[in-house]
Amino acid sequence: MRVAICEDSQTSLQYYEYLLTVASEKHELFIELSTFENGNELLFYLDGDGPPFDLIYLDVQMPKWDGVSVANELRNNMDYKGEIIFLTSHKESAVAGYEVHAYQYLLKNDTDRNRFEAVFLEVAKKIRQNKKQYLLLKGNGEF
């Protein structure tokens, strides 16, 4: 599962990276984790040849591109189909998360490690269920 964290605070970025690493190892989930310090970096990566992410954690308050604007760009202009979880210190901006079909909205100061892990496991299960496996067979010139 490919996961991205987009967070402008280096301390928070390292903390969430640590939580995801611990949770994935504890539950034997393989994740490929990428980090971005602002929305521009994330959008530039995805607009280039970077493979898409299954899950993106987005800080709501970032300079230039706030998390909701980044999510709008991802959903409306880049056709992003993966899951988005917002990270913020402000409850007031939760309503905007619904407009971009966010999976969850985690309050930085009110979400403990157990809750963070539980949400991660929920969304990981959903992602695994949504991934379809295909077997392509070719016979007599037909697929």
HSE-CB at 62 with a 13 A cutoff on CA atoms is: 29
Taking only the tens place, the pLDDT of each residue in 61-97 is 888 888 999 999 999 999 899 999 999 887 776 666 6
> What is the Cα–Cα distance from 8 to 143, expressed in whole angstroms?
47
Residue 137 lies in a domain: no
Taking only the tens place, the pLDDT of each residue in 22-66 is 999 999 999 999 999 999 999 999 988 778 899 999 999 888 888
Q: What is the CATH number of the domain that holds 110?
A: 3.40.50.2300
Task: Give phi and psi for 83, each to the nearest 5.
Answer: -90, 150
Cα 127–70–62 angle (5° rounding)? 115
Flag whether pLDDT at 135 surpasses 80: no
Look at residue 64 in the predicted model and tell me its pLDDT: 85
Give the chain's domain count.
Answer: 1
Domain that holds residue 95: 2-130
Look at residue 143 in the predicted model and tell me its pLDDT: 58
- pTM passes above 0.85: yes
Tell which residue, 96, 46, 31, 91, has the closest CA to residue 66. Answer: 96
Confidence of residue 115 (pLDDT cuts 50, 70, 90): very high
Residue 141 lies in a domain: no
Residue 17 lies in a domain: yes
| Beta-sheet strand order (sheet of 2-6) | 32-36, 2-6, 55-59, 83-88, 104-107
